[in-house]
Chains A and B, each alone.
Chain A
Amino acid sequence: MVRYASRADSVGHTPLVGLPTLSPSGTVRLWAKLEDRNPTGSIKDRAALSMIRAAEADGSLRPGATILEPTSGNTGISLAMAAKLAGYRLICVMPENTSIERRQILSMWGAEIVSSPAAGGSNEAVAVAKQLAADHPDWVMLYQYGNPANSEAHYLTTAPEILADLPEVTHVVAGLGTTGTLMGVGRFFREHKPDVRVVAAEPRYGELVYGLRNIDEGFVPELYDASLVTTRFSVGARDAIRRVRELLELEGIFAGLSTGAIVHAALGQAARAQQAGEPADIVLIVCDAGWKYLSTGAYHDSMDQVEELLDTQVWA
């Protein structure tokens, strides 16, 4: 069914496409779930819509309200379109070291941007947003890191779509940021097909992003429950860039940088299965397309050049 009553209703229902060239064999197969095919071009449309609907339903979000959200980009962009259509004002707190395209798109949708310091990355954005929320109690912070409606979107839509399209699924590999995708998918499969391996791919940034504050001031999203994940990999910028290029060259998929990290982890799982002689059907999430990362040079500059540029950026 490809007819929907409205733009909002068209969120989700994304295609799952085989990756015959990247797959190691006919029995160890990779599949890409194309989340860039959502209305604003990323998987975050699912979480944003779900959080807004939940806040409207419980009365915390009323007509004319101001929404505040810490974001490194995609969640803000998803919220911005929804806010524009519903008449909310949106303020995004975003680290200053994110790609220019994210700022341009947020502005295009009418969002206001408060920049947080580069050092400390998204941890700083969360801290700044929490302070702003305390100063402006009438603003509504949906808070993707702790909002159950975030992971619920994936429990109710992303994961059931995967199981319906690929009942033989053995692995799902997704990015770890807010942990919303992994928590929703993990909970769904624990209930419906508990042998599915849920694998997290986490971007490993340059030193600047980790900041210089005390190590006890780190951040773990309130949503995170490690028991819902099978394992977790840290993927650096160089591997992520290499993999987005492979995905483009071999499968014709133009994906963003966090997807590169996910492809890297998925190929690791595929190699393990192949070596063990076990059949596998591995779903990897394509979080967004590459448009927002063109200015980084990720698709055409030399690897060394891109790696150096991304070293100070929140690139995923």
Chain B
Amino acid sequence: MAVEVKIPTILRTFTSGEKAVQGDGSTLLQVIDDVEARHPGLKDRLVEADALRRFVNVYVNDEDVRFTGGLGAPTADGDVVVVLPAVAGG
């Protein structure tokens, strides 16, 4: 078991077209670092100056990590991380 990370279309150039990749770690940052080791370049598209980029939203089990610790948000085996660009509604 590991953490599943779902990758949006625009970032799949870093994952050879894979829609989802596996990562390990007990925080979101550890998972991102683990994924970065196999898919270099991805981290830079998500993280800037030790925080998530402004127009990137990341959810662990559907909850926005900006409310659960940001890059330090806890993750565990079996969790699902979803990465999405910020969009409008209304």
Contact = CB atoms under 8 A, between A and B. Distances in A.
Interface of A: 44, 70-72, 74-75, 121-123, 125-126, 144-145, 175-178, 180, 200, 202-205, 207, 209-221, 226, 229-235, 316
Ranked nearest first, the 4 interchain pairs of A and B with the lowest CB-CB distance are A177-B89, A218-B55, A218-B86, A122-B88
Given A211-B10, A212-B10, A219-B55, A178 B90 contact: yes
B84 A176 contact: no
Given A232-B67, A234-B59, A126 B53 contact: no
B64 interface: yes
Contacts of B88: 70, 121-123, 125-126, 145, 177-178, 219, 221
A214 B10 contact: yes
B49 interface: no
B90 A219 contact: no
Interface string B37-70: 0000000010000000111110100111011100
B21 interface: no
Contacts, number: 107
Contacts of A213: 10
A125 B10 CA distance: 20
Find the residue from A72, A75, A233, A235 having the highest chain B CB count within 10 A: A233
B80 to A, nearest CB: 11
B51 to A, nearest CB: 12
A231 B90 contact: no
B72 interface: no
B87 A234 contact: no
B53 A231 contact: no
Contacts of A217: 55, 85
A106 to B, nearest CB: 14
B55 A230 contact: no
A123 B62 contact: no
B76 interface: no
A161 B68 CA distance: 30
A220 B66 CA distance: 14
Contacts of A126: 88
B17 interface: no
A221 B84 CA distance: 16
Contacts of A209: 87
B56 A231 contact: no
Given A231-B64, A231-B67, A215 B11 contact: yes
A233 B62 contact: yes
Contacts of B90: 44, 70-72, 74-75, 122, 144-145, 177-178, 180, 221
B55 A235 contact: no
B9 interface: yes
